[in-house]
Amino acid sequence: MQGTSTEYKKDLGLKESVAIVISRIIGSGIFRTPAPIMALVGCTSLFGLVWVIGGIITIFGAVIYAELSAMLPKSGGPYVFLKEAYGPYIAFIRGWAMFFVSETASIVAVALVFTEYLNAIWELTAGTPFNLPITFIISLLTIWTLTGINMFGVSLSGKFQVFFSMVKVGALGAIIGMTLTSFSTGNIQNFINPLWPESFGWETILAVGAALRYSFFAFSGWEGATYMAEEVKEPQKTLPLSLFIGIGGVMLLYIGTNLGYLFQLDVQAITENKWVATAAMQVVLGATGGILISVAVAINAFGNISTQILCKSRTWHAMARDGLFFDKFKELHPVFQTPNNALIGQGIWATVLLVFSLTATYLQSGSSGSNAYEIMIDFFSATSTIFNLLTFYAIYILRKKWPTKERPYKALLYPWSMIVVLILYSAFFIITLITAFIPSMIGIALTLSGSFYYMKKIK
């Protein structure tokens, strides 16, 4: 039986918060996005540029989030910031978009990568890949197994995050160490061949902008700890510190990992291998290396899905608690104090999106389901960008609205940090509309559909 208590347990310290940041970022991106990025840009200089831009945006975005989360340490993350800056409608529609477009779709995307790397293991050992029904069944079971685990308390979930974050760091460390020190198989010419695109023009800009969809996704999730602010000890101090420690560590790992990929695989090989980590380790250690790293990547993705399910359900609960979402989602379990109804609702919609993505990829490429990951990212990128822009601008609005409010942390290099983020994200949004128009429009239409629910709700 569900209760109506709204008091969370403060079971998360700095260690758990940093683990959540790391586990939310390192999931599928660094192991899956290099192939579509390289396929779009086709040279090492632009490949590096895409990752650098993604890192810069992440740093400046974290600077802004750190001020907002320290000032407003409430569960729900960006939903809370938008509600205070723009009022309930914008906050609601962002939360609606998170549920029906961006955040639940992200859970599905990583579940597909988890299944893909299990597929890599199976193909290396048995010689045949999964078919589409097997891909669906494994992805579905993964989502619902981790939803069930997260229904038994944040303390248990927090321990999961610490364990999985250690596995993630270990896996990336292994890739970096082995790929960069295997001089017998590596080739330094891979870093410069080709270094530049054949020509520079509008197509080059569009290619970089389209590739940023996958870089941003690889860096996404760093704000995860802010979704659970009411369950964090000393959130004013812990949240900003966890963001900077977690993001800084991940960026160093990403740089090393991409250098390792390039040392072992040329541009063509990276383009052709969606399981790039497996391909790189196969070059170094043969089939055994491919299997071992595929296992590690699968574990990483599994942990990331768990973290996403844990963090995002708190937003649906926070919205329902404010009377702006499905009423059942505001209830907490009387024993575990977890938003179990929100978790179940999230799982149901993730199932719908899983069916959508696999159906779309089947219509595009047949029975393999190999493009479902890209379809999910293209589906939510434009919508996510709109609300990221609004969230970053909220720091300006709230400084004007509450000039004397206590701010335990103030954004570094403000207002320039905000201006850089807004300019780059605005350019990215325009390019996303050009290069992924139909999936972007589907996401935006689903977002706007929330207006009808909102009008009915406030009557």
- Predicted confidence at residue 4, as pLDDT, reads 39
Number of domains the chain contains: 1
> Is position 4 within any domain?
no
> Is position 278 within any domain?
yes
- Computed over every residue of the chain, the mean pLDDT equals 85
Q: What is the pLDDT of residues 376-407, one digit of tens each?
A: 889 999 999 999 999 999 999 999 999 998 88
> Is position 3 within any domain?
no
User: How far is C-alpha 65 from the geometric centre of its chain's CA atoms?
Assistant: 16
- Predicted confidence at residue 1, as pLDDT, reads 35
Segments of the chain scoring below 70 in pLDDT: 1-11, 27, 75-77, 153-162, 164-165, 224-230, 364-370, 459
- Predicted confidence at residue 186, as pLDDT, reads 93
> Is position 305 within any domain?
yes
> Is position 5 within any domain?
no
- Predicted confidence at residue 154, as pLDDT, reads 58
Closest Cα to residue 352, out of 110, 146, 111, 100? 100
Q: How many angstroms separate the CA atoms of 212 and 107, rounded?
A: 19
What letters, b where the CB count within 10 A reaches 16 and e where it falls short, cover 311-342?
A: bbbbbbbbbbbbebbeeebbbbbeebbbbbbb
Structure pTM?
0.81
> Is position 425 within any domain?
yes
Q: What is the pLDDT of residues 182-238, one digit of tens each?
A: 999 999 999 999 999 988 899 999 999 999 999 998 988 777 666 666 677 777 777
Residues in contact with 78: Cβ distance below 8 Å, sequence separation at least 6, in sequence order: 94, 223, 226, 387, 391
Q: How many angstroms separate the CA atoms of 46 and 270, rounded?
A: 14
Q: In sequence order, what E strands does 25-128 have?
A: none
Helix H or strand E encompassing 5: none
Asked whether the bond before 194 is cis by omega within 30 degrees of 0, the reply is yes
> Is position 8 within any domain?
no
For residue 314, the domain's CATH number is 1.20.1740.10
Closest Cα to residue 180, out of 262, 118, 298? 262
What letters, b where the CB count within 10 A reaches 16 and e where it falls short, cover 235-268?
A: bbebbbbbbbebbebbbebbebbbebbbbbbbbe
- Predicted confidence at residue 448, as pLDDT, reads 94
> Is position 2 within any domain?
no
Q: How many CA atoms lie within 13 A of 23 on its CB side?
A: 30
Give the residue numbers spanning the domain of 23: 14-458
